[in-house]
């Protein structure tokens, strides 16, 4: 199945983003779970994706983690490490949570970006003005997206889409200069 997307349309949509929301598992982490014999689960996070989320917030774009699973220590730790204040677990209706965030922040659909990977992300993607799928997303998710990343989930997709959005807004070059002068942790 081919998924050609209109990059010019995606760029125009990206320019309007004020909130960028995403799932954790399959977007920030690869589609792998490490389990030990005692049932403890562990996830891997791609370091550069954290830079993407930090870059969004440094450029006045709110970031929200929306996850369908119950609280896990790694996702919570990663959100705190990135100093994100919009972290939601056990979200059964991501579209409704997007609507709540829009109301809280005074935003319209077109000012919301969302990146997902699985069927549970479709309702939120359909509410977002800029819907993105990771490279290894389910085909129906790719079909609903305005843009599909080259990177799979948990392997740089957030970093990639951050650069795409900031370039579309004309903020990327200035951000690169700022980051290279200050370093970034």
Q: What is the DSSP string of 48-90?
A: HHHHHHHHHHHTT-EEEEE-SSPP-HHHHHHHHHTT-SEEE-S
Q: Taking the chain, what is the end-to-end CA distance rounded to the nearest angstrom?
A: 40
Per-residue confidence (pLDDT) for residue 9, from 0 to 100: 95
pLDDT in tens, 34-45: 777 887 777 777
CB contact at 8 A, 61 and 19: yes
Confidence label for 70 from pLDDT (cuts 50, 70 and 90): low
Confidence label for 175 from pLDDT (cuts 50, 70 and 90): very high
pLDDT in tens, 140-163: 999 999 999 999 998 999 999 999
183: left (phi over 0), alpha (psi -120 to 50) or beta: left
Contacts 24+ apart (CB under 8 A), 89-94: 91/66, 91/67, 92/68, 93/123, 94/21, 94/23, 94/66, 94/68, 94/120, 94/121, 94/123, 94/124
Per-residue confidence (pLDDT) for residue 71, from 0 to 100: 54
Q: Cα(79)–Cα(63) distance, rounded to whole angstroms?
A: 10
With CA atoms as reference, report the closest residue to 61 among 185, 168, 173: 168
Is the per-residue pLDDT at 67 higher than 70? yes
Is the per-residue pLDDT at 2 higher than 70? no
**Residue 167: enclosing H or E segment and its boundaries?**
helix 157-168
The CATH T-level fold of domain 7-174 is Rossmann fold (3.40.50)
Q: Can you give the length of the chain in residues?
A: 185
Domain boundaries, the chain: 7-174
pLDDT in tens, 71-124: 566 666 677 777 777 877 778 899 999 999 999 999 999 999 999 999 999 999
Q: Cα(45)–Cα(27) distance, rounded to whole angstroms?
A: 9
Per-residue confidence (pLDDT) for residue 3, from 0 to 100: 66
């Amino acid at each position: 199945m081919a998924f050609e997307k209109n990059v010019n349309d995606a760029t125009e949509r990206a320019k309007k983003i004020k909130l960028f929301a995403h799932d954790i598992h399959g977007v920030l982490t690869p589609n792998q779970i490490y389990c030990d014999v005692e049932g403890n689960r562990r996830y891997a996070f791609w370091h550069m994706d954290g830079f993407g989320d930090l870059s969004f917030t440094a450029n006045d774009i709110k970031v929200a983690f929306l996850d369908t699973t119950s609280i896990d220590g790694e996702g919570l730790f990663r959100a705190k490490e990135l100093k994100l204040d919009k972290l939601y677990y056990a979200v059964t209706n991501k579209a409704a949570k997007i609507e709540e965030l829009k109301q809280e922040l005074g935003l319209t659909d077109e000012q919301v970006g969302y990146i997902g990977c699985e069927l549970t992300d479709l309702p939120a993607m359909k509410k977002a003005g800029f819907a993105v799928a990771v490279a290894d997303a389910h085909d129906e998710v790719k079909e609903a997206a305005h843009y599909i990343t080259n990177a799979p989930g948990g392997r740089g997709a957030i970093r990639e889409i951050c650069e795409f959005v900031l370039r579309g807004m004309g903020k990327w070059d200035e951000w690169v200069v700022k980051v290279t002068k200050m370093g970034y942790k």
